Amino acid sequence: MKELIAARGLRKSFGSFEAVRGIDLIVPAGQVLGFLGPNGAGKSTTMRMLTGFLEPTAGTVTLDGIPLADEPIAAKRTFGYLPEGAPAYGDMRVEEFLNFVARARGYVGADARSRVDRSIERLHLEPY
């Protein structure tokens, strides 16, 4: 089966603190994955590395077969990440952030509007 997400030997250290210690993860296309664990377990750090928001200290990530480190733009185009809070734009409302992401991915006009509206509807974000 096709590997949609693959992480091999993924590690992240902040100074002497090792936040993520050698994750090996394969997510086949069509699978649903959830990260469960207590605060400080490395869930958010792992997601940030898998999506290219944070560079790993060691290890590799491929998204749909595309190496994230070598081809970050192409790899990120295959993967959507909706964080709890916008990583760089905390003052944006949900719809503003989705419009920003749509434009950054090259969608304009009615196509961008349609994609944003569909995301808001699918994720039940209308009140936000």
Domains of the chain: 3-76 (3.40.50.300), 82-128 (no CATH)
Q: Give the pLDDT confidence score for residue 87 in this predicted structure.
A: 60
CA atoms within 13 A on the CB side of 97: 18
Q: 126: burial class by Cβ within 10 Å (0-12, 13-18, 19+)?
A: exposed
pTM of the model: 0.72
Enumerate residue ranges in the chain where pLDDT < 70.
85-90
Q: Give the pLDDT confidence score for residue 88 in this predicted structure.
A: 64
Q: Give the pLDDT confidence score for residue 86 in this predicted structure.
A: 62
